[in-house]
Amino acid sequence: MRLAICAGPSTTGKTAVLRHLIADLLQKGTPPAFLKIDVQYAEEDEILAAEFGIPTRKVYSGELCPDHCNVMVLGDALHWARKAGCEVLLVETAGLCLRCSPYVDGGLGIVVLEATSGMNLPRKVGPMLTLADVAVVTKIDRVSQAEREVFRARIQDAAPRVRIREMDALHGIGIAALAGHIETTAETPDKLLLRGNPPVGTCTICVGRKEIGWQSHFGVVRALENATFYRGE
């Protein structure tokens, strides 16, 4: 079993990229299974199942963050994909808070970014980009050559080791290079580990405290004029 996890902000074209990837994998005789992890709404699983007849599933993370949910379900999902007779599992996840990333050691990490989201985006998305193996840049025909080049250079600044693949995701132009990365991905190891360190923090807001102001909270907190500090036991 080989694993590729695809992350990226909403509407960047993750599904469009994966659609072409699925078509390519099918053509090569390695049908993939597809898992979508989203917070509260997704229909990509139904669309891709209808389009390609491959096994698909979705999980709503609900109260959990999608990357947290990914950690919970990924082991089961690999088992499911194997039982469904697939050799590749593609996971599409909506990484949201930019503090961690869903990639695991031994799997391929793909981040999808759109060139139209501004030249500073590569500096903002954190480990979702810096821990990826491949950064797919979509909507390249929409921005000026200058912005596209600055975007690429800033990806390389933020993540010097990531491979950049520019794609016209609507038409699948440039997909072959990405498909090549899946082919060279090793078999998934038995023990899976998150590639990055999760953020440090006990979130008092997640457990229900609604008061504004750090004085009402504990754990890792911060004030406007301070870096983060620890408050409490």
User: Which residues of this protein are in contact with another protein, per CB under 8 A?
Assistant: 105-109, 116, 118-119, 131, 133-134, 141-147, 149-150, 152-153, 156, 160-161, 163-166, 168, 171-177, 181, 184-186, 189, 193, 195
Q: Give 85 or 160: the residue with its C-beta nearer to another protein.
A: 160
Nearest approach in angstroms of CB 30 to another protein is 16
What is the rounded CA–CA span in Å between residue 121 and residue 129? 10
Helix (H) or strand (E) holding 154: helix 145-158
Nearest approach in angstroms of CB 212 to another protein is 32
Helix (H) or strand (E) holding 175: helix 175-183
Q: Give 88 or 221: the residue with its C-beta nearer to another protein.
A: 88
What is the rounded CA–CA span in Å between residue 228 and residue 219? 10
Q: Give 163 or 231: the residue with its C-beta nearer to another protein.
A: 163
CB contact at 8 A, 104 and 131: no
Nearest approach in angstroms of CB 31 to another protein is 20
Nearest approach in angstroms of CB 84 to another protein is 23
